[in-house]
Amino acid sequence: MTQKEKIFSKQWFISYGLVIFGSFLFAVGDVMFANPYRLAPGGTYGLANVFNTLWSWKISYYAICMDIPLLLIGTWILGPKFGIKTIVSTICIFVFVWLLESVWGYDPLIHGKMLTNVPKGALNFEPDYILNTIVAGLIYGVAIGLIFRSGATSGGSDIISMIINKYTHASLGTLVVIVDSCITLTTLIAFKDVRLPIYSLILIFIEGKVIDLVIDGFKTNKTIFIITDKYEEVRHIIVNELDRSGTCFTGVGLYKGTERKMIYTTVSRSEFVKIKLAIRKIDPRCFINVVDSAETLGEGFKSLPEA
């Protein structure tokens, strides 16, 4: 059975609050920091920033025209893995970006003095690339980290990576880097400025580190041992909803000598957030031991190195 948060419960408000606030921060990072400096830190909004600078249509319009088809194609090829929260996040980011670009415009929040009589196509302000890139990375990292913590996914260009992963079985993390790097390189092609993809990559690096901190991990998988009386329900979550496997052991408790089953499995950080929330609904009295796995090799993770 699919575990859902009870509507209007405390956890429901917290979860959707994270989605909404994270989406707002994402919009701030994009409209006030990335777009004015012509940065494209991956994703559909990174590509939308490039399009917006070249052809003056709103960022939000470009992005939603890419996000909706990607969600539909992803659902068709991968199945309904994205969930309502990802759809809510996609809509919220679109609305917040639209509001900010409509009210604030495309002026940078961090800059030197504004310039007048600049040549067509040039920046109309004195840029501070380093400070802007650092702050943008922090904002993006917190934003996406909060969205991940809510149980949602970033969607967008990540769906492309997931589709390629399904047919090639290449590392999902590697595919995400490749797809985002290709989007980042569009700034070099569009604006002929080698600094832009470099600053975008620095932004992505900072963003990734902050996401790790927000989710409470450092790019490690989570190895978990679960002792529960609701074995079948927990097994269903791992196998059917996370598409993971594991091993079941039968053991005897030291205190009462009761025979119980223990599940051993390894999942990603985002998957661990989902399974933890699900198990809390299934069996609040279960015992879970969590170990950070610095490296996980084998099916579903990184391939074993060749001899």
Q: Domain check: are 207 and 243 in the same one?
A: no
Residues 46, 187 share a domain: yes
For 237, the token pair is: 């979550």
Which CA distances in Å does 79 have to 35, 66, 71, 248? 33, 19, 10, 27
Residue that the structure tokens 């996401």 belong to: 211
Nearest to 144, CA basis, from 206, 64, 202: 206
Mean pLDDT of 33-54: 90
How does strand 287-293 pair with strand 221-228?
antiparallel
Residue 255 falls inside a structural domain: yes
Instruction: Give 54-64 pLDDT, tens digit per residue.
Output: 888 999 999 99
Highest mean pLDDT among 76-80, 120-124, 184-188: 184-188
pLDDT single digits (tens) 64-75: 999 899 888 888
- The whole-angstrom separation of Cα 116 and Cα 262 is 68
Q: Check whether 160 has a pLDDT greater than 60.
A: yes
pLDDT at position 172, please?
58
Least Cα distance to 303 among 191, 170, 105, 136 occurs for 170
Q: How far apart are CA 207 and CA 136, in angstroms?
A: 8
CA angle in degrees (0–180, nearest 5) for 278-280-283: 105
Assess whether 231 and 179 both reside in one domain.
no
User: Residue 59: inside a domain, yes or no?
Assistant: yes
Residues 241 and 96 in one domain: no
Given strand 247-252, what is the order of strands in its sheet?
247-252, 259-267, 221-228, 287-293
Identity of the residue numbered 117:
N
C-alpha distances (whole Å) from 268 to each of 6, 55, 170, 177, 196 are: 25, 39, 16, 17, 31
Q: Are residues 77 and 150 in the same domain?
A: yes
Last residue of a domain, one of 188, 215, 242: 215
Asked if residue 306 belongs to a domain, the reply is: no
Domain's final residue, options 151, 180, 215: 215
Q: Is 102 exposed, middle or buried (0-12, 13-18, 19+ CB in 10 A)?
A: exposed
In this model, does residue 148 exceed pLDDT 70? yes
Angle at 23 between CA 21 and CA 25, to 5 degrees: 70
**DSSP summary character for residue 55:** S
pLDDT-based confidence at residue 154 (cuts at 50, 70, 90): low
Final residue before a domain boundary, out of 185, 215, 245:
215
As a whole-number percent, the residues of the chain with pLDDT over 70 amount to 89
As a whole number of angstroms, the distance between CA 206 and CA 228 comes to 39
Q: What is the CATH number of the domain that holds 278?
A: 3.30.70.120
Out of 26-30, 95-99, 186-190, 252-256, which region has the weakest mean confidence (pLDDT)? 252-256
Count CA atoms closer than 13 A to 266's CA, side-chain side: 15
- Domain range for 258 is 221-293
**Strand, helix or coil at 222?**
strand
pTM over 0.75: no
Q: Work out how many domains the chain is built from and give that number.
A: 2
What is the C-alpha to C-alpha distance for residues 29 and 204, in angstroms, rounded to an integer? 12
Residues 43, 171, single domain; the answer is: yes
- What's the rounded Cα separation, in Å, for the pair 18 and 84? 14
Q: Same structural domain for residues 200 and 236?
A: no
Question: Is 93 contained in some domain?
Answer: yes
Bridge partners of 264?
225, 247
Q: Are residues 164 and 231 in the same domain?
A: no
**Dihedrals phi, psi of 221, to nearest 5 degrees:** -80, 165
Asked whether residue 195 falls in the same domain as residue 261, the answer is no
